[in-house]
Structure 1
Amino acid sequence: MSKRINAKHKIDRRLGVNLWGRPKSPFNKRETPPGQHGARRRKPSDFGIQLMAKQKLKGYYGNIGEKRFRKYYEEASRLRGDTGENLVGLLEHRLDAIVYRAKFVPTVFAARQFVNHGHVLVNGRRMTVASYTVRVGDVIEVRQKSREMPLVLEAIQSAERDIPEYLDVDHNKLSVSIIRTPKLEDIPYPAQMEPNLVVEFYSR
């Protein structure tokens, strides 16, 4: 289990945002950085601003290591079009991201664990790799035996998040398909994401 799962609320305070828009985030009540007394935030340099943008995007998707995240950037830079747009598009094609977006689980951390534990099928086959890249038209389903899990039932009934338009979700069958690769403006990030700054960070 990732250390980030145990300290996910510290991420909010360290980055200075309510990263997932959750009402239970301690950032809603205490905006200082983590630590016994907190710390004053200094005005960041250009490098610091770019680094923060990268950390926000990495942190949002739960458990992406630096090596893998850099690979996403390198792949995005090889594709046609805007590299920043390509980057967030690739991240939204992750299996755990789609499970989270479809509201099958309450958090991105739960989505990773849910996939790793074998509760998800892709085109009828069990998939346990959270970073698996889902293609447009693939059908993702919650396994029959997993559909009555309290985690799933509570997530479906939650009004905390909306399902984006680029997904076709059926909560009766607990299935979802990605209709198209989203643009940045289509993705319901609770906090402002700046993939252009992430591109600047890696292209230095």
Structure 2
Amino acid sequence: MSKRIAAKYKINRRLGVNLWGRPKSPLNRRDYGPGQHGQRRKGKTSDFGTQLMAKQKLKGYYGNIGEKQFRRYFAEANRRKGDTGQNLVGILESRLDAVVYRAKFVPTVFAARQFVNHGHVTVNGKKVNIPSYLVKEGDVIEVKEKSRQIPMVLEAVESVEREVPDYVNCDPKAMKATFVRVPELADIPYPVQMEPNLIIEFYSR
């Protein structure tokens, strides 16, 4: 899987939330941070700390995007017309790996990144192996025919753990999905509360 797969639940414990809402998360059993100092009593979080945590949650949710790339997404969201926070989550949900995850072709965002990277997906009939590729409204994302029997894919498609949101029109039998529209914050099925307004404050300091 991706290089973060073994440590993905450490992100959960460090942030103190079950970021992907998965029943397997060790946070369900140990609701404190990893490491020998994980159980220390926490003091009051500063405004900066709260803003930083909001940023880390959103970054972590999408497979722990790098800071430089995340900052570019923020700059693009800020450049576009409308609400910067809404624009930011809209850009993140337009990533090809995010759409593959939303369509339930794979079980996790980490698996989605690797799945795209390994060339198992096409966009409008053309192979795209860049997880950060931004899909447009009306684009058709499809699992390649030879990749449809991968056990991970079959399990994910049949899983009842998540629902496909209404901004992705999915045909699970054909393993094909259409990106209907760029969602707003309220449309995105985050298992935890995301606060893009705090991220705007963080980068506006």
TM-score range, shorter chain: over 0.9
Return the offset for 1:192: 0.6
How far apart, CA to CA, are the structure 2 residues paired with 1:41 and 1:132?
39
**C-alpha displacement of 1:47:** 0.2
Deviates more, 1:172-181 or 1:50-59: 172-181
User: Which position in structure 2 is the counterpart of 1:185?
Assistant: 186
In the other structure, the counterpart of 2:81 is 80
C-alpha RMSD of the superposition: 1.1
- Given the alignment of the two structures, is residue 24 of structure 1 paired with residue 21 of structure 2, yes or no? no
Alignment-derived partner of residue 52 in structure 1: 53
- TM-fit CA distance, 1:199: 0.7
1:178 deviates by: 1.0
1:36 offset after TM fit, Å? 3.0
Among the aligned pairs, what percent are the same residue? 69
The answer as to whether partners of 2:2 and 2:113 remain within 8 angstroms in 1 is: no
The change in CA–CA distance for 1:3 and 1:150 in structure 2 (over 3 A counts) is closer
Query: Displacement of 1:3 after TM fit?
Result: 4.4
Deviation at 1:4, TM superposition (A): 2.7
Once the 2 structures are TM-superposed, how far is the Cα of residue 37 of structure 1 from its aligned partner?
5.2
Aligned residues: 204
Query: What letter matches 1:22 in structure 2?
Result: R
- Within 5 Å, give how 1:163-202 maps onto structure 2: 163-202=164-203
Q: TM-score, normalised by structure 2?
A: 0.97
3-state SS of paired residue (1:7): helix
TM-score, with normalisation over the residues of structure 1? Answer: 0.97
Please say if 1:35 is aligned against 2:41. no
Counterpart CA distance in 2 for 1:142 and 1:10 is 30
Q: Give CA-to-partner distance per residue, 1:130-181, whole Å, 9 cap, x none.
A: 0000000111000000001100000011110011011110111101111111
Partner of 1:155: 156
Q: Give the gaps of 5 or more residues in structure 1.
A: none
Q: CA separation in 2, counterparts of 1:91 and 1:47?
A: 23
2:121 aligns with 120
Q: 77-86 or 36-45, which moves further after superposition?
A: 36-45
Distance 2:33 2:108 in 1: 22
Gap regions ≥5 residues in structure 2:
none
